[in-house]
Structures are given as C-alpha cells and as structure tokens.
Amino acid sequence: MNILSGALIGRFCLLLLCVPITTMSRCYAQSISSVWVADDGEGNYQNPVLHADYSDPDAIRVGKAYYMVASSFHCMPGLPILKSRDLVNWRLVNHAVRRLLPDTVYNFPRHGKGIWAPAIRYHYIQYFIFYPDPDYGIFMIKARDPEKKWSVPKLVLEGKGIIDPCPLWDDNGQAYLAVAWAASRAGVNSLLTIYPLSKDGSKITGEGQHVYDGHRSNHTIEGPKLYKRNGYYYIFAPAGGVSTGWQEILRSKNIYGPYEQKKFLEQGKTRNI
C-alpha cells in the first residue's frame, strides 16, 4: 500500500466515525429489500410464485401437503425441499443431500456440475428422489419423512450424460426409469429412454430402450415426467430448448411405445388443440 492510498483509507474511516449512528442505521434500513410474497391474503396471488432460483422444479402431493425439489448443482447442502399447502405459499423445510462425492472433485467449486434436474415421488410409504450427476450417472435417495434425514445417495445407473430421471411404479409393481441425454457429456441428445428398475428403486435391472427420438420435429426433447392413467402411459417433456421451446405430451398403451405425440404448450399463444 502506498502512502496516498493509506491516507485516503484513514480519512474514510474517520468520516465513518463522524457519521451519527442514527444516520447510519437509517441508511442501512432503507437499503434492505422487502421480502416477495405472492399471496395477497385475499384469495389471489401474483407471479412469480417463487421469486428465487429453484431451477428444474418437480413437485408431488401427499395427503394435503405438496413437496417440491429443485436442482442445486455443486452447492451444498443440496437438493432443497420446499413444502406448501396451497401451491402459493412455500417454505424451505430441508436439504436432502449434505455431501457430494467424490471429495477430490467437489471440495472445489464446480460450476455447472453436480445435481441437475431431480424427480421426487412417493411410493409404498416412502419418498424417493432420483437425481442426475451428468458426469457420473443417476442417483437415488429415500426417506420416510421428507423433512428429516435422507439415505446416502446410491448410484442406480452409471454413465456420462444421463440426465432428468423420473421413476414410475406400474400397477403390477414393476418399476421403470425414464431419462434423457445431455450432448455435452453423452455426445447425443433429443432422445428419451426407459430402463426397467428394481421394485425398491435401487438398481437398473435390464437394458434401456429409446422410446422417442425427437431429432426430426422435437429437437432437444428432455426432462421426461412419466405417468400412468386409465391404461395409458404418458410422458410430459419439454423440447426445442429453454429460450424458444415448447411442451410435448407423449402417450402409449405400452411403456416402451410407440408413442403418439401432441404439442400442448408453446411460446406466446398456444394454438387450439
């Protein structure tokens, strides 16, 4: 530090000492931003419901409670869990992951890595979260109470570029896992794949099958959410990329397809369908 800069710092510190405490408190109070509340208290709400960065949210309802999870990437504690009774007022109740492995990698900031888009499901009195680490594969954790401690992450499906997992337990107890692919790691995308999954959700039990190829009309299709209703298997999935994309619904009587498709949500004004 040179003499001039030292003198300037000294004068600045002296100036702070000369400012009345009440003035400093008033200036500080004026700089505090108000907390965003979507609920107006009169039965209405305003968007955004959550004025915060909860990327890739996925939510379920169990009884009268809704639980939501989101991406947390390399930040720890990870996998935030939010709870709501009305889908408007949410509060953070837990983090499902406390540590990412391997330590040799995640003891340092790894922007863009770590936990990507997760899926939360409730099956046979247990909560499950499946999440991808795009550099290692698909992991599963579970808990009886989502607001308490979760199990140690278990690698269910190893591989680079496997992302966006979503499980489904069929009527007969057979389980499946739908995934997408990240071109940055796998060298391919625009594909949706379904794997057979053990009933306890702990491991893949067979080869996966590509059930949808979006290269022709739905490039960059990803983020599959797998459901079954009235004998049909449904896959809800975004396509077209984040900034200009749209939402597709795929439907089939067979879990492995073929799937018919329908675009049901577009940028701007959606066409009548």
Rounded percentage of the chain residues whose pLDDT exceeds 90: 82
Cα–Cα distance for residue pair 116/138, rounded to 1 Å: 10
By C-alpha distance, which of 130, 133, 132 is closest to 106? Answer: 133
Q: Which of 56, 86, 133, 164 is catalytic?
A: 56
Confidence bin at 15 (pLDDT 50/70/90)? very low
Q: Give the other-Cβ count within 10 Å of 117's Cβ.
A: 22
In this structure, are strands 191-197 and 209-213 parallel, antiparallel, or unpaired?
antiparallel
Q: Where are the domains of the chain?
A: 46-127, 160-273
pLDDT top residue among 203 and 30: 203
pLDDT greater than 90 at residue 28? no
The number of C-alpha atoms within 13 Å of 173 and in the hemisphere containing its C-beta is: 4
Q: Which of 58, 133, 222, 248 is catalytic?
A: 222
Q: Is the pTM of this model over 0.85?
A: yes
The residue type at 143 = A
* Active-site annotation holds for 200: no
Give the rounded distance of the alpha carbon of 48 from its chain centre. Answer: 17
How far from each other are the two terminal CA atoms of the chain, in whole angstroms?
69
CATH topology of domain 160-273: Tachylectin-2; Chain A (2.115.10)
By C-alpha distance, which of 185, 182, 181, 184 is closest to 195? Answer: 181
* Active-site annotation holds for 147: no
